[in-house]
Amino acid sequence: MRESLSIWFFSGILLLAYGLLIAGTGIWEFFGHPPAPAPVLYQLHPDIWWGGLMTALGLFYTVKFRPR
């Protein structure tokens, strides 16, 4: 009998992918490529923080709910 895949595994993959893209964009902007009109509170670099959080959460869900 086959075990069904958990929806949280696919959610983890999506969170991991989006987190890596957002954090990568934030790191790219941090090292010399800022947007032309700087958004409000740009100096806090929320894309790096949220990208890192999404990457960590996606990695957790992907590992915890991976098919065995």
Domain ranges of the chain: 7-64
Q: What pLDDT score does 38 carry?
A: 86
Task: Report DSSP state, residue 44.
Answer: G
Q: What pLDDT score does 1 carry?
A: 66
- Token pair for 28: 């790219």
Give residue for tokens 């992907």.
62
pLDDT in tens, 3-32: 788 999 999 999 999 999 999 999 999 998
Q: What pLDDT score does 12 carry?
A: 97
pTM: 0.87
Residue 22 neighbours by CB distance under 10 Å: 20
Decide if pLDDT at 39 tops 80: yes
Decide if pLDDT at 40 tops 80: yes
